[in-house]
Structure 1
Amino acid sequence: MIRHLVLFKLNEGVRRDDERVVAGVKAFQELDGIVPEIEFWECAWNITDRPIAYDFAINSAVADADALKRYIEHPAHQAAAGQWREFATWVIADYPF
């Protein structure tokens, strides 16, 4: 299994209630039912307020490197990530477990 972690930081001046952000969150929430490679999926807003904290997180898992590649290339994932490019930056970690 491969854990796929993504931490998002909203761009300066962008708020959680921005309609683009709301739509972006919805797009990620729906991936679990759309992308067959997903073995485990959770995403949520960070509840802590610290200067080094990121705002939103995805914690997911796929079976192997091939499944991760298919997940990343899936049109629904590409569309969801594309929405976030408008208002956030992110960091990713993929590791076996």
Structure 2
Amino acid sequence: MIRHIVLFKLKPGVSWDDPRVEPAEGLAAKVGGEVPELHEWSVGRNISTRPVAYDFAAVGLLDDEEALERYLVHPFHQEAIKAWREISDWVIADVVE
């Protein structure tokens, strides 16, 4: 199994009040129901105020690297990426469990 972890940092000048943020969050929340390769999917705003903290996280669970590749190119996932690309930068980790 592969745990896919994505941490988003809002771009300078983008706040939670930005009108693009709520739609991006909504798309992220729906990815788990739209991409069949995902066994688990959770998203949410980070509550930490530490300077090194990211703002939003998405965590999913997939069978293997082939499932991860299918998830990455899935059209709904790509739609969510487009929304987040406008407002944030991110880092990922794909961890074998």
TM normalised by structure 2 equals: 0.97
Q: Within the alignment, does 1:56 sit opposite 2:79 as a pair?
A: no
Which structure 1 residue ranges, 5 or more long, are not aligned? none
Q: Cα deviation per residue 1:15-52 (whole Å; 9 max; x = unaligned)?
A: 11212111000001011111100011100000010111
Give the Cα separation in 2 of the matches to 1:19 and 1:93: 28
Aligned equivalent of 1:90:
90
Q: Cα deviation per residue 1:65-93 (whole Å; 9 max; x = unaligned)?
A: 00000000000000101111111000000
SS in 2 for 1:50: coil
Aligned equivalent of 2:5:
5
Q: Within the alignment, does 1:75 sit opposite 2:75 as a pair?
A: yes
Q: Within the alignment, does 1:26 sit opposite 2:44 as a pair?
A: no
AA in 1 matched with 2:87: F
AA in 2 matched with 1:71: Y
Aligned-residue identity in percent: 48
CA-based RMSD: 0.7
SS in 1 for 2:9: strand
Which segments of structure 1 move beyond 3 Å, counting only runs of 4 or more? none
Give the Cα separation in 1 of the matches to 2:61 and 2:10: 24
SS in 2 for 1:19: coil
SS in 1 for 2:47: coil
SS in 2 for 1:38: coil
